[in-house]
Structure formats: structure tokens, C-alpha cells
Amino acid sequence: MHHRGQPANVVTYNSLLDGMFKNQEPNEAFMLFNQMKECAIDPDIFTYNILIDGLCKGGRLIDAKEIFQDLSVKGYRPNVRTYNIMINGLCKEGLFEEALALLSKMEGNGFLPDAVTFETVIRALFEKDENDMAEKLLQEMVARGLLN
């Protein structure tokens, strides 16, 4: 694209990054992410969501957590999708206390958890036989009108 006079933009890079993570190429994705920044193309929240999601799915939760924590330092504000991705990654690793703390932080930062947020945590809790905690969240979900 660049050689044809059509330089890539953030959407192009996001698509490539997403494809690399889907093909389980996290190292290549990081190289491309660095190239993106070297080309003075600013990542957006979608870029960071792709990175965090790909890292969580690739078993690299520590890296995902680091990127998530750096978002505010870099001037980005996580959105509901960002929180849902991190909460899902934490739940997959059985880190329910951290997931619930992040859910609380999410609300404290002015983002209302949606049905996806609650379903992610509830499903993970039931899978790990944390039925009491899952039932509490299910009741909260009903109280918020997120479940009919």
C-alpha cells in the first residue's frame, strides 16, 4: 500500500493486528504494532482492545494487564468492551477476585457493566463451582434489568 502511494491508516493496522492474533502470531502482531507507532500512526482504543483481547486469548494475561494499566497513562480511556475483554481474561485464569475488583473499578469510572460483563463472570463462576457468588451476580443482573 505504501509503495503505491496509499499509506496504511489505523484501520488498516487494526485489521492486520486482528488477523495476526487470530492466526496465533502474537510476536508478529507486536512487531507490527511497533511499526505502526514508528510510522507515526496513533493507535486508538480499538487497537488496544485488539491487543488486549489477543494477548488474553493467547495466554499472555500479564502482558494484557500491563497494556490495560498503561491505557490511562497514555491518555486513552477504556470503554465497556475493554473492561469486558480484561474481565473475561481474568475469569479464564480463575482470578475472580481481580475480575470483580475490575468490575467495581469499571463502575467507579462511570461505565455500567452490560449483560456481556455479567454473563462472562457468572459463566466462569459456575464453571469453577463458585455457585454462591454466581447466584449473587445473577440476582444483581436481574435487579439491574439486564435479564428478563
Which cell goes with 17? 493486528
- What is the domain range of residue 38? 1-77
Give dist(CA 66, CA 70) in Å, integer. Answer: 6
The answer to whether residues 33 and 68 belong to one domain is: yes
The total number of structural domains in the chain stands at 2
pLDDT digits (tens, 9 = 90+) for 96-122: 889 999 999 999 999 999 989 999 999
Q: Which of 60, 77, 94 is the last residue of a domain?
A: 77
The pLDDT of residue 147 is: 72
Say what the pTM is: 0.88
Cα distance between residue 33 and residue 30, in whole Å? 5
pLDDT of residue 138: 87
Q: Are residues 54 and 96 in the same domain?
A: no
Here the cell at position 104 is 467495581
Q: Which amino acid is at 36?
A: M
Residue 111, pLDDT score: 92
3-state secondary structure 72-133: HHCCCCCCHHHHHHHHHHHHHCCCHHHHHHHHHHHHHCCCCCCHHHHHHHHHHHHHCCCHHH
pLDDT averaged per 10 residues, the chain (length 148): 78 96 94 92 95 94 94 90 97 91 92 91 90 89 80
